[in-house]
Amino acid sequence: MTLAGSLYGRLLAWLALPLLALGALLLLQAWFEARDTADRAYDRLLDAATLAIAEQVQWQDERLWLDLPPAALEMLASDAQERVFYTLVDQQGHYITGNARLPAHPGDDAASGDTLLYGDIEWHGMPLRQGVRRSRLEDWRSRERFEVRVAHTREGRDALRIELLRGNLAGILGMGALAVVTLLLAVRVALVPLTRLRHAIRARDPRTLASLDLALPRELAELREALNELLARMRRVRANQERFIGDASHQLRTPLAGISARAELALRRQSPDEWRAALETIHATSERTTRLAMQLLSLTRLDNPEYRPEHRPLDLNACVRQTVRDHWVTCHQAGVDLGADCAEGEVSVAGTDWQLAEALGNLVDNARRYGARHITLATRRAPPRLVVEDDGPGIPRERRLLVLRPFHRGRDDGEGSGLGLAIVDGIARNHGARLTLGEGEQGRGLRVELRFPEASP
Amino acid sequence: MTLRRLARLASLATLCLLPFAVYAEETLHLPAEASAGPMRPLVIHAALDLPQARPLLEDFHRRHPQIDLTYRNLTTLALHERFLERPDEADVMISSAMPWQFALANEGHARPLGGPILDAWPAWARWRDELVAFTFEPIVMVVHRDLAELAEPPRNHAELLALLNGHRQALAGRVASYDPVRSGAGYGYAMEESRLSPRYWDLVAALGAAEAELVETTGAMLDGLVEGRFLIGYNLLGSYAAPIVEANPQLELVIPDDYALVTQRLAFVPRRAPHPDTATLFVDYLLSVEGQRTLAERTSLGAIHPGLDGPGTAAELRGRLGDALRPPGLGPGLLAALDRLKRRALLARWQREFRRDPGDADSAAAPAAD
């Protein structure tokens, strides 16, 4: 379980790192605080000792005089048996008495009263804490200033500091341990729904697309909803597929059944003319069936989301002219007037020419089959459009969406396959074009428009 | 009579080598025995007389025959000055001048010792594991039997004060005590006593009124007592007085029962000792049951090992005198004795009190004495 690779690790790392930093900060603070506290406590000893000495400083024989109280030195030493030093100096800093010549303190005088200063000094290789009291004689003969310096080694302070620190450390470590345990539990508990979701998905029947019904916290509920939406789409797609397969097999069965019945009928006859007539009928039907099968195939191909044909730049006018050439004879024979109304110059889009040709062919076929007398193929610019307009019966507004479904026909005369418009729709989607169905110019007929996106330069 | 007097003189000769007086250096050398293994030198500088030190040194040498032991007995002053001149000469420093020993240790001249023997040593008798007290010697009064003709011998300081005030004429010139000006020990006792009781100054005034003889050593006082020149000796070092009193039935040793000062020999191993291992070995011996038993049985120094309680031990003295015994705390308070202004102030006061008009001795006993 790497940290970055697991949610558990990530959460833990992002919670534990600040916790660690906080712990380190607390430790640091405890360290300094313990030192300050110990120094404050022991500086009072320096304070008291300097006061006890200063009180015994007198003016005698025209000079400073000290009757050193032994208790002043005793109070400088705690149970830790510190080494003790003291010095008395006069106003000019001249040594009067003492068992050591302690250095002066650089601090300034207090505004009033005695000046008390503390400092850490190094004296003969020993780290000492020094206390300095600047005072003056309260004598009517002399107001001489003097300075009492005392110092002791740090054993007592260090012992107190360690003791304080140990107390703090125990607290901090205890809290830290508690926090880590809480953290581990909390992260584990928080991630339990995820495990539940995984188990629920694993335990599902792979064939079912039923939506997931599981109580989950909000963040995971969103994930569940997204999953359910996906499942719902898959259910719809599958329903469509099932209907399409049903429709397709029905569509193929009808002409095949016709062929079979026609052949059976012909076999009972003896006349070659009748056989021929039957064979011609069978031939026509099988051709229609073949076309139906091909349309099914191309529709399947268009519906396949994996299928992405390579589009190339092409001229819509060329497509239109080619379609008119291909269908002119058929239409002329059927007495239909097929015309083209091309925009000037080239109307270029990115597309696949055979697909566009098939779409146009389907539209022309449809129009012809549904009884149009005039069919006009047109191209327009900005945005590039293909328009097929006829004067046939048209499609009522409320059915215009339905006719785009496979196997839905404008009327039931057994002639069309019902796939034509669905295929056109598929091709339009394939080109990123929008298919709109409307009415002809005088409110009659059908106007089909394919609106392409602007060709990228 | 002549023989007895000669013996007395011989014992006095040893007492002449007491600390606090300047005498010639006295040396004892116990050579290592070649069969005992590689030789390990040990140099001890001490202010401790040979009659007291010899049993200890010999017992130690018998237990560690491979040690080549050199013992130099000096006065406390000479000991101190020699150490400051050559701090890398001695392995062990022993002295009864407690403030000086403490000052040296305070300045970091002593080596931390440690070890199980030191850890078991009473806390009041050691400082920072650097300085150890290993003897317990009360400061005593010695009185001559002839005093009985005048009065009962005093049992404590109050009785002494009353005696001095009551028989000022009869005792004139027949009382001896330390001169705090010339004797370091005398100064030390004066300082201790002035801290213990403000009535000490009355005692000093009474001593002055009785024209007390001020001498430099315990030996000089004992000398006069044995000869009968003095009737009362005040503030004698008990460890030196005890054998003399034992040898002279006309003398009586009195440990005051109100308070009795105690002096202790302090030993330390210098930081720059040339042979710290053998030095530690010797200090460990001094503090061991064996060393302390030798101290109790064969010297009059007073053993303080908590496991010993026979005659010649601090425990026995404590049982007899209880709280009256006042060993000076091994602490920085000792340093005050070395302060030069303090010394001058105390001596000035002492001399002033000593010369005080005897007539106002009683009035000065009032609480306002200080």
- With beta carbons under 8 A apart, name residues in chain A contacting B98: none
- With beta carbons under 8 A apart, name residues in chain A contacting B333: 70-71, 73-74
Q: Does B331 touch chain A (CB under 8 A)?
A: yes
Q: Is the pLDDT of residue B209 over 60?
A: yes
How far is the C-alpha of B324 from the C-alpha of B320, rounded, in Å? Answer: 9
Q: Is the pLDDT of residue A410 over 70?
A: no
How far is the C-alpha of A261 from the C-alpha of A281, rounded, in Å? Answer: 11
Q: State the fold for domain A312-451.
A: Heat Shock Protein 90 (3.30.565)
- With beta carbons under 8 A apart, name residues in chain A contacting B106: 83-85, 99
Interface probe for B, chosen from A45, A61, A99 (most Cβ of B below 10 Å), is: A99
Q: Is the pLDDT of residue B368 over 80?
A: no
**Contact criterion met (CB below 8 Å) for A134 and A147:** yes
What pLDDT digit, counting tens, does each position of B114-165 carry? Answer: 888 888 999 999 999 999 999 999 999 999 998 888 888 999 999 999 999 9
Nearby residues of A224 by Cβ (< 8 Å), 6 or more positions away: A197, A212, A214, A216
Q: Is the pLDDT of residue B263 over 70?
A: yes
pLDDT value at residue B280 = 94
User: Looking at the structure, do residues B182 and B243 belong to the same domain, yes or no?
Assistant: yes
User: Looking at the structure, do residues B22 and B107 belong to the same domain, yes or no?
Assistant: yes
Does B195 sit within 8 Å of A70, measured CB to CB? yes
Residue in A353, A277, A280 with CA at minimum distance from that of residue A322: A353
Query: Domain total for chain B?
Result: 2
Does A77 sit within 8 Å of B107, measured CB to CB? no
pLDDT value at residue A203 = 87
At how many degrees (to 10) do helices A420-430 and A353-369 cross?
150
What pLDDT digit, counting tens, does each position of B218-262 carry? Answer: 889 999 999 999 999 999 999 999 999 999 999 999 999 889 999
pLDDT value at residue A344 = 80
User: Looking at the structure, do residues B55 and B156 belong to the same domain, yes or no?
Assistant: no
Does B341 sit within 8 Å of A97, measured CB to CB? yes
Give the residues across from A133 on adjacent strands: A116, A148
> Is residue B155, in this structure, part of any structural domain at all?
yes
Q: Does B329 touch chain A (CB under 8 A)?
A: yes
**Contact criterion met (CB below 8 Å) for B122 and B305:** no
The three-class DSSP label of residue B77 is helix
User: Looking at the structure, do residues B352 and B234 belong to the same domain, yes or no?
Assistant: yes
Where residue B187 sits, what CATH number does that domain have? 3.40.190.10
User: Looking at the structure, do residues B193 and B287 belong to the same domain, yes or no?
Assistant: no
Give the distance from residue B331's alpha carbon to the nearest chain A alpha carbon, in angstroms. 6
Q: Is the pLDDT of residue B358 over 70?
A: no
**Contact criterion met (CB below 8 Å) for A33 and A147:** no
What pLDDT digit, counting tens, does each position of B285-316 carry? Answer: 999 999 999 999 999 999 999 988 888 888 88
Mean pLDDT rounded to a whole number for chain A: 85
Give the distance from residue B340's alpha carbon to the nearest chain A alpha carbon, in angstroms. 7
Q: Does A66 touch chain B (CB under 8 A)?
A: yes
How far is the C-alpha of B370 from the C-alpha of B368, rounded, in Å? Answer: 6
Q: What is the mean pLDDT of residues A351-364?
A: 83
pTM above 0.80, yes or no: no
How far is the C-alpha of B134 from the C-alpha of B237, rounded, in Å? Answer: 16
Q: Give the sheet arrangement for strand A385-390, strand by strand.
A: A337-341, A374-380, A385-390, A446-451, A434-439
Confidence grade of residue B14 (pLDDT, cut at 50, 70, 90) = very low
What pLDDT digit, counting tens, does each position of A71-124 carry? Answer: 999 999 888 899 999 999 998 889 999 999 999 988 888 777 788 999 999 988
The closest CB to that of A84, out of B108, B332, B342, belongs to B332
Give the residues across from B41 on adjacent strands: B68
What pLDDT digit, counting tens, does each position of A315-327 carry? Answer: 888 888 888 888 8
Q: What is the mean pLDDT of residues B175-201?
A: 90
User: Looking at the structure, do residues B285 and B314 belong to the same domain, yes or no?
Assistant: yes
What pLDDT digit, counting tens, does each position of B15-41 carry? Answer: 444 444 444 468 999 998 888 788 899
The three-class DSSP label of residue A56 is coil
Interface probe for B, chosen from A58, A68, A76, A150 (most Cβ of B below 10 Å), is: A68
The three-class DSSP label of residue A421 is helix
Q: Is the pLDDT of residue A140 over 90?
A: no
Radius of gyration for the alpha carbons in chain B, expressed in angstroms and rounded: 21
Residue with structure tokens 């302390």? B292
The closest CB to that of B339, out of A76, A84, A97, belongs to A97
Radius of gyration for the alpha carbons in chain A, expressed in angstroms and rounded: 52
Cβ-count burial A131-149 (b if 16+ within 10 Å, e if not)? bbbbbbbeeeeeebebbbb
pLDDT value at residue A3 = 56
Q: Within 13 Å and on the Cβ side, how many CA atoms surround A308?
A: 3
Q: Does B118 touch chain A (CB under 8 A)?
A: no
Q: What percent of chain A has pLDDT over 90?
A: 21
pLDDT value at residue A211 = 84
Q: What is the mean pLDDT of residues B49-62?
A: 92
**Contact criterion met (CB below 8 Å) for B120 and A116:** no
User: Looking at the structure, do residues B143 and B109 belong to the same domain, yes or no?
Assistant: no
User: Looking at the structure, do residues B121 and B65 belong to the same domain, yes or no?
Assistant: yes
- In eight-state DSSP terms, residue B303 is B
Nearest residue in chain A measured CA to CA from B127? A81
Q: Does B71 touch chain A (CB under 8 A)?
A: no
What pLDDT digit, counting tens, does each position of B67-116 carry? Answer: 999 999 988 888 999 999 999 999 999 999 999 999 999 999 999 998 88
**Contact criterion met (CB below 8 Å) for B54 and B298:** no
How far is the C-alpha of A169 from the C-alpha of B353, rounded, in Å? Answer: 60
The three-class DSSP label of residue B31 is coil
Phi-psi group of A146: left, alpha or beta (phi > 0 → left; psi -120 to 50 → alpha; rest → beta): beta
Residue in B151, B152, B154, B124 with CA at minimum distance from that of residue B140: B154
- For domain A218-303, the CATH class is mainly alpha
Q: Within 13 Å and on the Cβ side, how many CA atoms surround A1?
A: 8
The closest CB to that of B332, out of A66, A67, A73, belongs to A73
Burial of A280 (0-12, 13-18, 19+ CB in 10 A): exposed
Does B336 sit within 8 Å of A69, measured CB to CB? yes
Q: Does A127 touch chain B (CB under 8 A)?
A: no
**Contact criterion met (CB below 8 Å) for B278 and B91:** yes
Q: Is the pLDDT of residue A2 over 60?
A: no
pLDDT value at residue A456 = 55
Interface of A with B in 27-46 (CB under 8 A): none
Mean pLDDT rounded to a whole number for chain B: 86
Nearby residues of B191 by Cβ (< 8 Å), 6 or more positions away: B336, B337, B346
Does A96 sit within 8 Å of B341, measured CB to CB? yes
Burial of A446 (0-12, 13-18, 19+ CB in 10 A): buried
pLDDT value at residue A306 = 64
Does A98 sit within 8 Å of B345, measured CB to CB? no
Does B341 sit within 8 Å of A66, measured CB to CB? yes
Residue in B100, B338, B335 with CA at minimum distance from that of residue A84: B335
How far is the C-alpha of A363 from the C-alpha of B72, rounded, in Å? Answer: 135
Q: Is the pLDDT of residue A300 over 80?
A: no
Which domain does B181 fall in, by range?
Answer: 137-262+339-369
> Is residue B327, in this structure, part of any structural domain at all?
no
What pLDDT digit, counting tens, does each position of A13-67 carry? Answer: 888 899 889 989 998 999 999 999 999 999 999 999 999 999 999 888 888 888 8
Q: What is the mean pLDDT of residues A431-435?
A: 85
User: Looking at the structure, do residues B215 and B351 belong to the same domain, yes or no?
Assistant: yes
pLDDT value at residue B359 = 56
How far is the C-alpha of A383 from the C-alpha of A360, rounded, in Å? Answer: 18
User: Looking at the structure, do residues B193 and B305 belong to the same domain, yes or no?
Assistant: no
Domains of chain A, by residue range, sit at 7-162, 218-303, 312-451
> Is residue B332, in this structure, part of any structural domain at all?
no
User: Looking at the structure, do residues B178 and B81 belong to the same domain, yes or no?
Assistant: no
User: Looking at the structure, do residues B242 and B360 belong to the same domain, yes or no?
Assistant: yes
| ipTM, interface predicted TM-score of the complex | 0.82
What pLDDT digit, counting tens, does each position of A257-298 carry? Answer: 888 998 898 888 888 888 898 888 888 888 888 878 887 787
Q: State the fold for domain A7-162.
A: Beta-Lactamase (3.30.450)
Q: Does A8 touch chain B (CB under 8 A)?
A: no
